[in-house]
Amino acid sequence: MIADRSWTFGWREVWLLAVLLSVAVPRAYVLVKSRSTLLDADEAVLGLMARHILHGHFPIFFYGQNYLGSIEAFWTAVLFALFGATPLVLKFGALSWFCALLPVQYFLAREVALGLARCC
Q: What is the CB-side half-sphere exposure of residue 29 using CA atoms within 13 A?
A: 6
Q: Classify residue 4 by burial, with Cβ atoms within 10 Å: 0-12, 13-18, 19+.
A: exposed
Alpha-carbon distance of 91 to 99, in angstroms, equals 12
Query: pLDDT by residue (tens digit) across 15-25?
Result: 888 888 888 88
DSSP one-letter code for 52 = H
Confidence tier at 1 by pLDDT (50, 70, 90): very low
Residue ranges covered by each domain of the chain: 11-119
Model confidence, pTM: 0.67
Classified as helix, coil or strand, 62 is coil
Query: pLDDT by residue (tens digit) across 58-108?
Result: 999 989 888 888 999 999 999 999 999 988 889 888 888 988 888 889 889
